[in-house]
Every structure is written in structure tokens, then in C-alpha cells.
Amino acid sequence: MLGILDYGMGNIFSLLNATRVVGFDAKIITCPDDLDACDALILPGVGAFQDAMLRLKENKFIDAIHSYRQSGKYVLGICLGMQLLGQKSFEFGEHNGLKVVKGNSLRFPSLYKDNNLIIPHIMWNKVLLNYELNNEIQLYKNISDKEFMYFVHSYYVEMKNDTEILSFTKYEGMRFCSSYQVDNIIGVQFHPEKSGKVGLQILKNFNQMIYK
């Protein structure tokens, strides 16, 4: 069973449908005790970082997520979920994240090398696979380099270690990390559940990583 964490942030119904379409037995998880039954966990989210952390705390999910990921099972963070797994965010001040992954969330600058950046970054943009990595990236199996995925965000994760970066994306010339993997922890900044057939392939690959 795949658990999709529901802590009141964002559109989880689409994610539930998309994961079911690719063969997951997916369920929405609203209580920490339900995590035990999950073979993998998705941490979704849209909205403000601080709000999300508060709601995770209120729902007693923080310790539960930590013990879950220590069990070695996969955790996939999507969009805000990817950012929450990092060290901290600088969204309206400075806020601690779950500190599972060494990376901080920063706001896109409004100007990058004379280019004005329209923020939020809402568009289908290309995912450039990190060719510095030696092994085949399982998450991108059967997916070509430079495929388009759907992004909607104002913050991105600046990773401490480049070797944990699975892919980059460029916005007006500015390169940022669009996905990472640290052992069993995966983060994607784009929305696979909203990225058409290529997005579904990501979820299918995630399924195969779990049940191979």
C-alpha cells in the first residue's frame, strides 16, 4: 500500500487518482498510526512552508515521518513536500524543515543576469538529467532527457551535495535542482500527477522501485 499524507495542504485527490492509474494501492493517510501499513509514503503539499510544518506537528506526523524513513522505506516529497524534507526554508523568515535532506529552500530572485523572473514559476519546463551521476536513475527509467514537467512554485531547494541531485531545470537561465534522491528519500519539485503521460511514468517508476 502507498500512503499519501493528508495534512490539509493542497490537491491530493489528483495524486490519489494518478497513483492508482499506475497500479498503486493508494490510500490517504490522516493519522500517524496508519504509516505502519505503508510500503512507501508520498509527502505532497502546496502552500506556505511554515503552515505546512505547523500542520505536520499538530497532526503528530513529524516523529512518525522520521521513524518511517529510518525503516528504509521510500518517501517521495512532491513540490512543497520536497522542500519540507530539507533543512530550512527562508519563506517569510527562517523556518526549520524536517532536516532529512541537506538543502535549503530559497525564493527565486526577481532578477537573474538581467532576466526578470516571473514568480511563481508556473509552467511546463524541461527536466535535465544529472549526467554526473554514474548509475542509471531509476526514477527516470524510460524517460528521455529534457522532458517537460509541470511546475508551480516560488521557492526551490538549494542542495548542499551535487551528487544527490537527480535533475536540474533552468528558469530564465537560472539552474535549480528539480529532483533529488538521498538513499530512500526522493524529492521532485514538479508535479508528476499533473505532467501528463511522462508524469505518470515517474509514478510508475516509483512503483517499480518499491515492488521490483
Partner 1 sequence: MIHRIISRLDIKGPNLVKGIHLEGLRVLGKPELLARYYYEEGADELMYQDVVASLYERNSLENFVEKTAEKIFIPLTVGGGIRKISDIKRILRAGADKVSINTAAINRPEFIKEAAEHFGASTIVVSMEVIRQSYGSYFLFTDNGREYTGIDVKKWVEKVQSLGAGEIFLTSVDREGTMKGLDTDLINTVSSEVSIPLICHGGFGNVGHIDFLKGTHIGGVAAASVFHYNYLASNKEDPYAFSEGNTDYLKSGIVKNKGLSISELKNYMLSRGINVRHS
Cα-Cα-Cα-Cα dihedral sign, residues 51, 89, 192, 137: negative
**Exactly one of 1, 23, 36, 47 binds partner 1 (CB under 8 A); which one?**
47
* Window 76 to 115, contacts with partner 1 (CB under 8 A): 80, 110
Please, which residue, 66 or 175, has the CB nearer to partner 1? 175
Q: Crossing angle of helices 49-58/62-70, nearest 10°?
A: 90
Asked about 79 being catalytic, the answer comes back as: yes
If one asks whether residue 48 binds partner 1 (CB under 8 A), the answer comes out as yes
Given a contact cutoff of 8 angstroms between Cβ atoms, the answer to whether 37 and 1 are in contact is yes
If one asks whether residue 172 binds partner 1 (CB under 8 A), the answer comes out as yes
CA-wise closest residue to 138 among 179, 91, 175: 179
Please, which residue, 69 or 187, has the CB nearer to partner 1? 187
- Max CA pair span of the chain: 51
- Residue 10 CA: distances (Å) to CA of 44, 46, 74: 8, 5, 21
If one asks whether residue 154 binds partner 1 (CB under 8 A), the answer comes out as yes
CB of 15 to partner 1, least distance (A): 10
Asked about 191 being catalytic, the answer comes back as: yes
Place of cell 485527490: 13
Residues at the site binding partner 1, with contacts judged by CB under 8 A: 10-11, 13-14, 17-18, 21, 46-48, 80, 110, 116, 118-120, 122-126, 148, 150, 152-154, 172, 191, 193-200
